[in-house]
Amino acid sequence: MKSPDKLPSLVYANYKGEIVDLPDIEMAGMSGFSMIRPHYSDLIPLPNGSELFTLPGRYPIGIDPKNKSFIKLDEDPFYEGKPVSAVAAFIAPAHTSILSAAYEKSDSSAPVLPLFAYTTVGWLDGQFWVAAFRCDSDVRQDADQYVQKTVKAKTDKYLKRFCDNRLIQHLGNCCLSYGCPAARNYFLGRWEAPIPTSPICNANCVGCISLQTSGCCPSTQDRISFVPAVDEIVEMAVPHLSDAPMPVVSFGQGCEGEPLLQFKTIEKAIIKMRAQTPLGTINLNSNASMPDRIDRLAASGLDSLRVSMNSARKDKYALYYRPQGFSFDEVKDSIKVMKRRNKFVSLNYFILPGFTDDMDEMSALFDLVEDCKPDMIQLRNLNMDPEWYLDVIKHSPVAKPKGIMNWLKRLKKSFPFLRFGYFNPYLAG
């Protein structure tokens, strides 16, 4: 149990790469540009399946418990003169960050951080603690829900059986090479399965995880290099929809571009899928850039749409997505198209403490929800170097951020119809 009168201690990485704690200094967090002392109520044990990262070229920041001042640790107190690095947690799926890791760059040559999320972490009572909360009770991507030996055996069996299906072969690589949770669940025959289809995109997202053009850092996975045939999609998806528990199949994945650019293939596939089974939920993860195509897919049998969004403000959205041939207005129109057809819409809303809960951003999101009436907000931590992101979108706050928990509380109070979570829901019936 966490001691009620003591914050966890600062953790850092020493010159050997070992992660250690400094008992006399408390952990700190960061919200945008502001250093923050975490609230006890915002801390949970590091979730199973999380990872710890060292942050090169960044000094850890902690708090002096005597006077509550922030302290920069610029050398190791146990190895005099030796360098140290800040440490962050990449928290497991279904958890949302409340505070980012607190650090200060050692100099301007500090490298851009890879495309992950960076939550503050400390040490107390024999375990790590993070400033985060569980936003979805669904266990579909929990680390204790699978045994890797079983995953590999079932994946190998599928790959051998469907040796001519390029889509299944691609998903096998995603599962075994990258540990993709969605691909893993497909081969385990349960819950949500991915259907990547598009090797191209009509946006050039700064934080794209499948194709990085900025030269800042490598993409975290390879993008699909082909458009699957309709029959390859149907062969993969129909058995999953028919037999899996709480089945969802989703076009639009991290290992591809924008699926709407392959809408004719997807439309034909959905029609064929629905001709063979009425079961399960067919979902599209998309930038929602083409309302007319969204309408066509909804008419063909698409059940739900998840719209990726870093910001509800047109200018901030454009600076991150760098759209090619569309604007934020088309994105909102797509949401309205789905709602007119009585379909389910989620906002895949990227969370970054200090930006998400900025008053201007909050106001814009509230206006968007009021105008477009989405059904759900999926809370996804922004996978990007926080400082780089804030620089890219030209974030210049005029007031102190309200806090992620206050942001969530206000949303729930203002919009009782909104659902909150992390995953695309199975829409029973």
Mean pLDDT by 10 residues, the chain (429 residues): 74 96 97 96 97 97 96 93 96 98 93 95 97 97 95 97 97 93 97 96 84 53 88 98 98 91 98 98 97 98 98 97 96 98 98 98 98 98 96 94 97 98 92
Domains of the chain by residue range: 9-134, 143-421
For residue 12, give the nearest of 96, 84, 107 by alpha carbon.
Answer: 84
DSSP-assigned letters across all residues of 323-346: BSS--HHHHHHHHHHHHHTT-EEE
Structure tokens at 419: 């659902």
Structure tokens at 133: 């909360």
**pLDDT of the residue at 218:** 55
What CATH number does domain 143-421 carry, 3.30.365.10, 3.20.20.70, 3.40.50.300, 3.90.330.10?
3.20.20.70
Buried b or exposed e, range 18-39, using 16+ CB within 10 angstroms: ebbbbeebbbbbbbbeebbebe
This prediction's pTM: 0.94
Question: Residue 10 and residue 28: Cα distance in Å, rounded?
Answer: 7
CB neighbour list of residue 91: distance below 8 Å, 6 or more residues apart: 46, 47, 50, 97, 117, 119, 130, 132, 381
CA 285 from centre of chain:
12
With beta carbons less than 8 A apart as the criterion, state whether 11 and 128 touch. Answer: yes
Q: What single letter denotes the amino acid at residue 211?
A: L
CB neighbour list of residue 180: distance below 8 Å, 6 or more residues apart: 171, 174, 194, 221, 254, 255
**pLDDT of the residue at 50:** 97
For residue 331, give the nearest of 307, 356, 301 by alpha carbon.
Answer: 307
For residue 120, give the nearest of 198, 188, 29, 41 by alpha carbon.
Answer: 29
Question: Residue 292 and residue 378: Cα distance in Å, rounded?
Answer: 24
Give SS3 for 222: coil
Structure tokens at 82: 């030796």
For residue 188, give the nearest of 142, 218, 217, 145 by alpha carbon.
Answer: 145
**pLDDT of the residue at 272:** 98
Give SS3 for 16: coil
**pLDDT of the residue at 364:** 98
Say which DSSP state 203 is in: B
Bridge partners (DSSP) of residue 71 are: 62
Structure tokens at 376: 């759900």
Structure tokens at 16: 């050997």
Structure tokens at 411: 């949303």
